[in-house]
Amino acid sequence: MKSFDIKTKIYFGESSLDRLEQLDSSKILIVADPFVVKSGLGNQITSRLDRASIDYEVFSDVIPDPTIEKITLGVSFLVKSKADTIIAVGGGSAIDQAKAMREVVSQMDEYKGVHLRLVAIPTTSGTGSEVTAFSVISDTESGQKFPLVADSILPDEAILDVELVKTVPPAITADTGMDVLTHAIEAYVSKNNDEFSAALAEKSVEIIGSFLLRSYLDNNDTHARSKMMCASCLAGIAFNHANLGLNHGMAHQLGAKFHIPHGRANAMLLPLIIQYNSDINKHSRSKKEYPNHVRKYVTLARLLGLQNFNTITTIRALVSWVEFMVKEMDMPLNVSSMNVCSQEEYFAAIPEMAEAALADSCTATNPRTPTKEDVMKIYIDLW
């Protein structure tokens, strides 16, 4: 038996931030990305709370890829604040930090039976964290990144307001946009995929095909940016239901070990993972039937307008299109061009990263079951 639901209520479209004035709360803790505070973007939140005379405090000790230490700091702040509602505003890092903080606090004796409401407001169009039951945590001691997964982590509400993503610079638009694409593709070919997640992933891919490059090329293209916010959220709901795959399992390790931004790591891996999962080689031509997930890649390619001569050439066209997007958005195609570590350091880390990628919960639903050797080879090819 399967089921599908969306616990998070989504507010979107013009003036959706006005929802904040309707919150029934006596004290709010705003968990904010430091950029949101420094840039004044946060005023769009606080001015609405002021108007509604709702008391609030701000916690902005948030870093990219939240760590156990930062979450612990946030937990004491949250308990001291006596807030009944958390507003998380920022990219995936701020939202994941707030989700983890609420999860820890909810398990304390003094919070038994208390429901702390969480409202997630994304300022990047990337992770879909506003609608997922995941919170990705970095463990600085072990140098690993792992997802916490529980339904109780899901935000109660999400607010998608394009006003908050207008300041995202091109490089972050590229990283986060390619994260959305990876979510949609991995959810679509996941072992857990079904008609519900498929519908969401297809719509997301269709939007990305039309609007990601536009968002990258023109910061002021508000229409394209609001479409990408929806694509991000749709892909989030899709992978929350169907889970992800090896691409994310491997990207998490690159983030934890070498601090490669999450979306950039996914983008570099995506062409290699599509090729690995499709397993198309010189013998493929003789195949009459391709596995289901290969046909799904073909469907996505068609949605992107890449229909080609046959299955093999269509998969190649999909891989080339992903590489085209990476190049057009000035993103690196391999680790060596990023100068994040020496070749020796990178190759020494491969066996451990491969093991951690295999153990990562995202990898379990990859359509092709990888061996440690397979994963090591992909990391080697990524150099």
Ligand X SMILES: NC(=O)c1ccc[n+]([C@@H]2O[C@H](COP(=O)([O-])OP(=O)(O)OC[C@H]3O[C@@H](n4cnc5c(N)ncnc54)[C@H](O)[C@@H]3O)[C@@H](O)[C@H]2O)c1
Give whichever of 94 and 189 is closer to ligand X, judged by the CB atom: 94
372 close to 379: Cβ distance less than 8 angstroms: no
* By the rule CB under 5 A, 96 interacts with Fe ion: no
364 C-beta neighbours (distance < 10 Å), count = 17
Give whichever of 54 and 256 is closer to Fe ion, judged by the CB atom: 256
Q: Min. distance of Cβ 95 from Fe ion in angstroms?
A: 12
Find tokens 């003789």 and name the residue. Answer: 286
Give whichever of 81 and 182 is closer to ligand X, judged by the CB atom: 182
Site string for Fe ion, 157-186 (x = CB under 5 A): ----------------------x-------
Between CA 134 and CA 240 the distance in angstroms is 8
Given ligand X, Fe ion, none, residue 35, with its beta carbon under 5 to 8 Å by kind, binds: ligand X
Give whichever of 25 and 93 is closer to Fe ion, judged by the CB atom: 93
Give whichever of 35 and 216 is closer to ligand X, judged by the CB atom: 35
Q: Min. distance of Cβ 149 from ligand X in angstroms?
A: 9
Between CA 165 and CA 364 the distance in angstroms is 33
Q: Strand, coil or helix: what is 167?
A: coil
| Chain residues that interact with ligand X, rule: CB under 6 A | 33, 35, 64-65, 90-94, 96, 123-124, 126-129, 132, 134-136, 164-165, 167-168, 172, 176, 179, 262-263
Cα–Cα nearest to 262, from 238, 242, 234, 232:
232
* By the rule CB under 5 A, 202 interacts with Fe ion: no
* Amino acid letter, 100: A
* By the rule CB under 5 A, 33 interacts with Fe ion: no
380 close to 354: Cβ distance less than 8 angstroms: no
Between CA 325 and CA 228 the distance in angstroms is 15
Given Fe ion, ligand X, none, residue 65, with its beta carbon under 5 to 8 Å by kind, binds: ligand X
Q: Min. distance of Cβ 128 from ligand X in angstroms?
A: 6
Between CA 32 and CA 97 the distance in angstroms is 10
Nearest residue to the partner ligand X, using Cβ: 91
Contacting residues for 68 by C-beta, under 8 A, at least 6 apart: 137, 138, 139, 140
- Binding residues (CB under 5 A) for Fe ion: these are 179
